[in-house]
Structure formats: structure tokens, C-alpha cells
A = this chain, B = another copy of it.
Amino acid sequence: MATIPLSVLGERAKRASRELARASRLAKDAALHACGAALVGVTGEILAANAEDVARAGRAGVSATVVDRLRLDAGRVVSMAAGLAAVAALADPVGEVVDGSVRPNGLRVRRVRVPLGVVGIVYENRPNVTSDAAGLCLKSGNAVMLRGSAGALESNRAIAAALRRGVAEAGLPPDAIQLVEDVSHEAVEEFVKLRGTIDCLIPRGGPALVAMVLEHATVPYVVDGDGNCHVYVDESADLDVAERIVVNAKMQRPSVCNAAETLLVHAAVAPVALPRLAAALRGVELVGDEAARAIVPDIDPATDEDFATEFLALKLAIAVVDDLDAAIDHIARFSTGHSEAIVTRDYAAATRFIREVDAAAVLVNASTRFVDGGELGLGAEIGISTQKLHARGPMGLRELTTVKYVVEGDGQVRS
């Protein structure tokens, strides 16, 4: 079967986006439920397609972690459908009046939330992203162009076909969901240049993908970047709290972007805190600066590269800092602006950390792991923005919209 050119997929998505932008919440929620039912109804086909992807990955010698992300079972298909039902239950952001006023000349001005139009997503091996991203875009009134990885192509085809059927059953345009089946490198470079078609690109992947987007994209994009997150244990920290938070932030799910990668400890408390934290972090590979190694000598030295690295694994870099200023400076130097935490009992230290640390999220006495859409009350997320424009931190339905000024008058002209 010949692959449909990207430009054609784009035109179809654009046309569908106009219809979807005017769809009622009732219609969109019905479509989300129909999509879920469609997915569950073809579980067998989805799992057969997924088995092909998994077998191919196995032949290619892909790592067990990657295969695990790729692999679906009946339970995971049900989870996708449940995810769509959860999105249906969220409030519709479209139509929200953000603010408004009457001007001195009688003009009635308001800003109204409207869909972006066509959202493009570039993502890696998890086939559930196909369903999750499509659901969030559908609910927010956007058409979506999904460019998943080559490794998940068969799974994505089966999932996208089911979703399109669900959308059509609910009377909305199936072209609102477009799977990009050309998974070549050339096609992804073409994809990020679909200016005029894609209103917002969300690249979900590693530094190589982000670098490609920075170099080639002409469409507007929101970077879902790395999380080199720090936990700073202040001089005044409650060490029970510190231990709980550091262990949770590092160990609860080390492969995700809101896991901690560096521990900073105030020098005054380091001789007591560090041995205790090191013991609690059993199973984590620790590397430390000179001052840390003077206290816990059996760990390897940490380089600047360690401090700059998002390990995404059971590895933690440790530095002892002289004071809060040194902690803030270390974070300013190495942070990727994702999530930064302080453990403290000191009001002034908490206040300064909140104000002076420049990140999407700053946390006081709480684990960095809370920085995701579900935990912060967004309901679901399509990514976590580490940039400052448009969206910062977890991106939910609201971040998939823009605003429009509506100005109503009675014949006013400007003098």
C-alpha cells in the first residue's frame, strides 16, 4: 500500500479540525467513549499487531526495557479505554471566557478559549501514547497528526484505525486522527516543516529529537524536555522528611523525567544527613563531590558531566553546598528547568528557594515526583513543558488551546 503524502494527511487534518473546533462537548465525549469501545472491541487485532512489533524488536536485539514499553496485553488495552473515559469526564476547555471587560467607548471585549487547530506529536515506542494523545486532542477540539516510532508502527496502525472508527461512529470526522505511517527520518523532517498545517508540535523524546526540532522546525512547538531535577536538603531540614523525599524522588520510578538526579546537602547537616541518606538509598549508584566523599568515602567521584546528566536510572550525583546561595547557584548552573525541591523547616529558606529557583515547578517538602498532570490536578497530560512560552510544566487540555479576542460593538470607529 502506497503511503499517503504528508501534505495530504495535513490537509485532511486541517479540514477536520475546523469541524471539530465547533463540536459540542456532548459530541466529543461520545466520541471518546466510542473510541474506547472500539479499542476494546478489537483487542485481538491490536495484540496481534503488537506481537509483530515485539517480535521485530526482539529480532533487532532491542533492550528489555524498550520491549516492555512496547508490549501490550488485554489489560493495557482496557487501560487505554479507561484513559479515554477519564478524559471524557474532564471539563471542556473550549469556550471558556478567560477574561473580558467593557471599554470606555462601549466596546464589549472578551478573550475566549479556542482549539489550536492541528496538533502534531512525535513520540517513541509506547503505543498507548497514540490513544492518550488522540484523546486529549479530541477533547480539546483539535485534530491530531501522530508520528510514532517505526518500532511501534503495526500497533499504532491498529490503534489509530480503531480510534478513527470510534470518532466516525459518534458523527465526528475520522480525519481528526491521522497516523503518519511514513516513519522515515526524511518524513519527520518534513513533518516539522508543515507550517500552516500544524499549529502546535509537541516532540516527546530525547535530546536528539529536541535538537532536530530546534534545527529544522518551522512550525510552532512546545518542547517536552529533560528533567535534571534536584533535591536540596537544607541545614534546617527534618531528616525524616528528607530521607522520605530523597528516596521517593530517586527510587520510586527512576526512568521518568520528574525523578531526582542530584542531591544537594547543606554542609552543616551533611555529616549527619549524608550517611543516613546513603544508607536509605541502598541499590542506587552514588557519585559525589569531594566534600561528599569525605563523609561517605565509599562512593565514586562525581564529575560536572554527572551533575549535568539526567540518569533516568538508579544513579544519583551528590554535592555538599556551603549554604542556600550555593545550592541555588548549583541549580541555576545544571538545572534543565523542570522540577526542583527543597527540604527545610526554615521559612526564609523556603521563600527564597521558591522565588529564586527558575524552573517549571519548585517544591517545598514534597517529592519532585508530584510534578505531573494527574498529581497537580490537570486530569491528564500530553507532556511536560520545560520551556517558558505558551506552557510551562505539565500540559493538559488547557495547554492544547489558544485564545481569541472577541470584540462586539455598535458601529464604533477609532478616532
Write the nearest CB–CB distance from A235 to chain B, whole angstroms: 17
> Which residues does chain B contribute within 8 Å of A365, judged by CB atoms?
408-412
Nearest opposing residue in chain B for A109, CB measure: B376
Q: Is A222 an interface residue (CB 8 A)?
A: yes
> Which residues does chain B contribute within 8 Å of A364, judged by CB atoms?
406-409
B406 in contact with A388 (CB, 8 Å): no
- A413-B252 contact in complex given A355-B22, A388-B116, C-beta closer than 8 Å: yes
Tier of interface size on chain A: 35 or more
Q: Is A177 an interface residue (CB 8 A)?
A: no
Q: Is A159 an interface residue (CB 8 A)?
A: no
> Which residues does chain B contribute within 8 Å of A366, judged by CB atoms?
107, 407-409, 411-413
- A411-B222 contact in complex given A388-B116, A405-B361, C-beta closer than 8 Å: no
Using a CB-CB cutoff of 8 Å, which residues 324-373 of chain A contact chain B? 332, 350, 354-356, 358-367, 369-371
A361 in contact with B404 (CB, 8 Å): yes
A406 in contact with B362 (CB, 8 Å): yes
The one of B363, B394, B407 that contacts A371, using a Cβ cutoff of 8 Å: B407
**Chain copies in the assembly?**
2
Using a CB-CB cutoff of 8 Å, which residues 105-143 of chain A contact chain B? 107, 109, 114, 116-117
A367 in contact with B214 (CB, 8 Å): no
> Which residues does chain B contribute within 8 Å of A354, judged by CB atoms?
406
Name the segment of A33-41, A71-79, A240-248 touching the other chain. A240-248
- A392-B404 contact in complex given A107-B370, A117-B358, A218-B215, C-beta closer than 8 Å: yes
Q: Is A103 an interface residue (CB 8 A)?
A: yes
Interface residues as binary, A371-391 with B (CB distance below 8 Å gives 1, 0 otherwise): 100011100000000011110
The one of B241, B252, B409 that contacts A414, using a Cβ cutoff of 8 Å: B252
Top 7 closest A-B pairs, CB basis?
Answer: A366-B409, A248-B413, A241-B411, A361-B405, A388-B402, A369-B414, A389-B390
Q: Is A271 an interface residue (CB 8 A)?
A: no
Q: How far is the CA of A199 from the CA of B355 in the complex (A)?
A: 18
Nearest opposing residue in chain B for A413, CB measure: B248
> Which residues does chain B contribute within 8 Å of A166, judged by CB atoms?
none
A356 in contact with B222 (CB, 8 Å): no
A414 in contact with B361 (CB, 8 Å): no
Q: Is A68 an interface residue (CB 8 A)?
A: no
B362 in contact with A407 (CB, 8 Å): yes
> Which residues does chain B contribute within 8 Å of A103, judged by CB atoms?
375-377
Interface residues as binary, A17-30 with B (CB distance below 8 Å gives 1, 0 otherwise): 01001100000000
Nearest opposing residue in chain B for A356, CB measure: B22
Q: Is A205 an interface residue (CB 8 A)?
A: no
